[in-house]
Amino acid sequence: MNNTVVIVGGGSAGAVLASRLSENPGRQITLVEAGPAYRAAEFPQTVTNAQLLGAFTGADWGYQSAPGALDHPIALYRGKVLGGSSAVNGSVFIRPTTADIDRWRAAGAAAFTQGAFIEAFERIQVPVHTLERDELSKVQRSFTDAADRAGVPESKGFNSANPAGWGAYPMNVVDGVRVNTALAYLTDEVRSRPNLTVRGNTTVDAVVFEEGTTTATGIRLTDGEVIAADEVVLSAGTYGSAAILLRSGIGPARGLADLGIATVVDAPVGKHIQDHPFYYNAYAADAQKIGTQTPVIGAKVWAAGTMAAAGEFDIHITATHLIDQSLSPTGAAFVLAVALTRPASRGTITLASKDANVAPIIDLNLLGEQSDRDRLAEAIQLARRIGRTAPLSDLVVAEMMPGADATDTDITKSALHTLDTYHHPVSSAPIGPQGTEYAVVDTHGGVYGTTRLRVVDASILPDAPSVATNPSVISVAEIVAARVYGA
């Protein structure tokens, strides 16, 4: 057993691992987090308030995507605080589907059995509550009623075996507080363990290797300090872990050489990222009728488009109040946010500089593939059909985007012009069989070509799940904690 483990990044995966691995008093754990490492009572209200997301929490990395196939950059939110992106996210808590798990196993994640995930789901410490109808906003209630009238079935529960349909969200919110993984796993009791050190406001530059070998011996911080360890686990997220690997000389040799970084392992880091494209089918609402606009996220339709793979549900339509109300001529607006959750497009992450303080270049390549454009357009048409159905249509004054007269061509143009991300990036260091053009790590996150170095976070998922990613990432951390560390 490796006795000292340094974990880089205290987000969805890192907080779980630090908690689980420090259950064994014989193991020394150091968790290094770039953002503040608040204790439960210290989290600012902007971070715990479930109605604030992304940069509005004040705890964001400030990344932007390259436009890629679109005509505009997109703000890419990532939490920079203990709890990571689970501290700034939408708090929707839905497990990966059986089809997601089967697909990941087929891609090489042998440890990702249905049984392993079921065990992980049972261990998850994040409290989850499915919203009741009277907890939804009027828009969200009208949306589910309209979906029903439009022929969408009621979901049997988004965390059930048959999740497709309309329904209210399962959320990890308690009394208005978004329960991030630091609150759920790094409790005051856990943080008082003598074998757990949590260092906040500490940014990691790179992994350190034993001279002339590919054996990790610790990490180097941006101020030059080296923290030695028997094993290094990168849990810095899809962007953060990839950037650290690249700065450490693990990545495509040619790109590293261009930046003057010596190659330690020639590996396809950052060449296969995926995210869910996210389109705002926006409506000007009747200000007298719209009612209270909370919760900002409350209900969705989960469906399979005509081009979905067998057993997969690739369309999410979420009724949300996350829109600048001043954009509406009526002063009131809501959005049916349409996401394609099983996209074909893959993007890239590369370094702009070997300086850890310089943001990496992220090109999500959303809608890069024509098939994604077609599938998203079909999903937007379903959202519009629901928007035109009573009782939701009774609240609408006008469709703002793509606009009531929009043709299929207009819809795709509007998507390319206004698209956002669902903020679920994955696969910058995917699991897969060694030697394939995409695989960077083995089924437990061990980095091929190295020893004592592992990546455990959203980076290693082989592709995008058909759900929001937080529970998938927590589950993977629980699986690695159990299988590799006996925790």
Ligand X SMILES: Cc1cc2nc3c(=O)[nH]c(=O)nc-3n(C[C@H](O)[C@H](O)[C@H](O)COP(=O)(O)OP(=O)(O)OC[C@H]3O[C@@H](n4cnc5c(N)ncnc54)[C@H](O)[C@@H]3O)c2cc1C
Positions touching ligand X (CB under 6 A) are 8-14, 32-35, 53-54, 77-80, 84-86, 88-92, 203-204, 235-238, 240, 244, 423-424, 457-458, 468-471, 473
Least Å distance between CB 234 and ligand X?
9
φ and ψ of 264, to 5 deg: -95, -45
Q: Report the greatest alpha carbon distance in the chain.
A: 70
Q: Any idea how long the chain is?
A: 487
Nearest to 418 by CA among 333, 337, 344: 337
Q: What is the CA radius of gyration of the chain?
A: 22
C-beta closer to ligand X: residue 205 or 378: 205
Least Å distance between CB 62 and ligand X?
12
C-beta closer to ligand X: residue 124 or 377: 124
Least Å distance between CB 27 and ligand X?
20
Nearest to 300 by CA among 379, 407, 411: 379
Least Å distance between CB 170 and ligand X?
10
C-beta closer to ligand X: residue 221 or 253: 221
C-beta closer to ligand X: residue 256 or 411: 256
Least Å distance between CB 356 and ligand X?
6
Buried b (16+ CB within 10 A) or exposed e, 255-293: bbeeeebeebbebbbbbbbbbbbbbbbbbbbeeeebeeb
DSSP 369: S
242 contacts 270 by C-beta, under 8 angstroms: yes
126 contacts 87 by C-beta, under 8 angstroms: no
480 contacts 21 by C-beta, under 8 angstroms: no
C-alpha distances in Å from residue 171, one per residue of 57, 91, 168, 316 = 18, 5, 9, 16
The C-alpha atoms of residue 163 and residue 160 are separated, in whole angstroms, by 5
Least Å distance between CB 446 and ligand X?
17
Least Å distance between CB 87 and ligand X?
8
- Identity of the residue numbered 222: T
Question: What are the start-end ranges of the E strands in 405-463?
Answer: 420-421, 453-455
481 contacts 474 by C-beta, under 8 angstroms: no
C-beta closer to ligand X: residue 222 or 381: 222
The C-alpha atoms of residue 304 and residue 314 are separated, in whole angstroms, by 5
* The Cα angle at residue 147 between residues 143 and 148, in degrees rounded to 5: 120
58 contacts 44 by C-beta, under 8 angstroms: yes
C-beta closer to ligand X: residue 221 or 287: 221
The C-alpha atoms of residue 132 and residue 140 are separated, in whole angstroms, by 11
C-beta closer to ligand X: residue 315 or 406: 315
C-beta closer to ligand X: residue 9 or 368: 9
Least Å distance between CB 351 and ligand X?
12
C-beta closer to ligand X: residue 159 or 381: 159
Nearest to 425 by CA among 346, 313, 311: 346
Say what the alpha-carbon torsion angle 244, 249, 253, 254 is, to the nearest 10 degrees. Answer: 70
Least Å distance between CB 157 and ligand X?
16
C-beta closer to ligand X: residue 80 or 271: 80
Least Å distance between CB 222 and ligand X?
8
Least Å distance between CB 393 and ligand X?
27
C-beta closer to ligand X: residue 424 or 444: 424
User: Closest-CB residue for ligand X?
Assistant: 11
